[in-house]
Amino acid sequence: MLVDKVISKILRSEKILLIVHENPDGDTLASASVVYQVLKRLGKEVAIVCKDPVPKPFLFLPEMDKIQNDMLFGDYELILVIDCGDSRRTGFDRRLKDFVRNKKSLINIDHHPKNDLHKIANINYVDQTASSTAEIIWELVERMQVDIDKNIATALFAGLYTDTGGFKHSNTTPKTLQIAAELMHHGARIKLITQNVSLNKTIPALKLWGVVLSRLSKHKELKIVSSVVTRKDLITCGATDDDIAGVVNLMNTIPDSKAAVLFYETEDDKIRASARTEDDHVDVARLAAVFGGGGHKKAAGFTIDGKIEITQDGWKIAFNNTSA
């Protein structure tokens, strides 16, 4: 079995590096938290690296203080890439390829569609039918017969919870709910998760969401709902980038809409877009791919060069000195 190959490789390695994707979400962080705890119990020398800081809603997860923004890859025998849709999303694309060229091992643990990581990884432990990478990590932990304590149970539950939108999205399966029930038996602290992820909205965050909702527009033919956030909005509301998280899911609840897209300016003068849908006939990953992005059929994203312009009639996006 593939999972046994993964376990065998882990057990034969002493120095292991975990990579979570840029702009990390609950699934990648929760999954890495669990793997880190398990590997530490096995006596491994393990580290976690992420290009971007951990968003405030996920600082409650165990071991988040262990995450560093860079590491010397050559110090490790094995790299586990966790929940990364493609090599670019790791933030270490070229270095990962060099790592593999030096005949070291790379394991891709993911639930995204097939991508360029599949080509360079020695083992692709991937299940596109899984609700989340946390669901795959659960199977790994079970196979390793690891004692699941409250910390591991809470982290795994958080991964399931965030990637299914609190078990509201259509990727929630009977298997997902069965795993969630098992994790509750192991002491998963659901109140801690919901307080941090769903209920912890500050006044600046709510003000920012109000701005987003005030700018909602809907394409009549395509039935796509969209809105924007500028850097000026963040300053005016006293909000942070973390406060943007979740509002696109709220936009996606509008009746008779097929998808929702939120555009927001980043600190490096680019525009990041988050797309969501619950329509079985819509694939937002294909939309994201047009702009060099990726993700899942029902949740995807991409980044473009441009600037958001707020006008008297609403808003528009200027792409490379042209308006669209």
Give per-residue pLDDT as tens, 115-125.
889 999 999 99
Predicted pLDDT at 294: 84
How many CB atoms are closer than 10 A to CB 204?
A: 15
Query: Predicted confidence band at 319 (pLDDT cuts at 50, 70, 90)?
Result: confident
CA dist 265 and 244 (Å) reads 11
pLDDT(298) > 50: yes
Q: Output the six-digit token pair for 274.
A: 């988050």
How many CB atoms are closer than 10 A to CB 122?
A: 15
Where helices occur in 125-173 by DSSP H, the ranges are 133-143, 150-163
Mean pLDDT of 284-296: 89
Pairing status of strand 123-126 against strand 217-218: unpaired
- Residue pair 323/317 in contact (Cβ under 8 Å)? The answer is yes
Say what the pTM is: 0.89
Query: Predicted confidence band at 212 (pLDDT cuts at 50, 70, 90)?
Result: very high
- Cα 16 to Cα 10, 145, 172, 184, 311: the distances in Å are 8, 20, 31, 29, 51
Predicted pLDDT at 116: 87
Give per-residue pLDDT as tens, 100-112.
999 899 999 999 8
Helix (H, G, I), strand (E, B) or coil at 43: coil
H-run or E-run covering 10: helix 2-12
CATH T-level topology, domain 203-323: Diaminopimelate Epimerase; Chain A, domain 1 (3.10.310)
- Which residues does 116 contact at the CB level (< 8 Å), separation at least 6? 86, 87, 88
CATH 3.90.1640.10 positions along the chain are 2-197
Predicted pLDDT at 321: 54
Helix (H, G, I), strand (E, B) or coil at 216: coil
CA dist 182 and 152 (Å) reads 12
How many CB atoms are closer than 10 A to CB 206?
A: 12
Given 3.60.20.10, 3.40.50.1000, 3.90.1640.10, 2.40.40.20, which CATH number is that of 2-197?
A: 3.90.1640.10
CA dist 25 and 280 (Å) reads 23
Give per-residue pLDDT as tens, 44-65.
999 999 999 999 999 999 999 9
> What percent of the chain shows pLDDT beyond 70?
98
Task: Identify the residue whose tokens are 């939120």.
Answer: 262
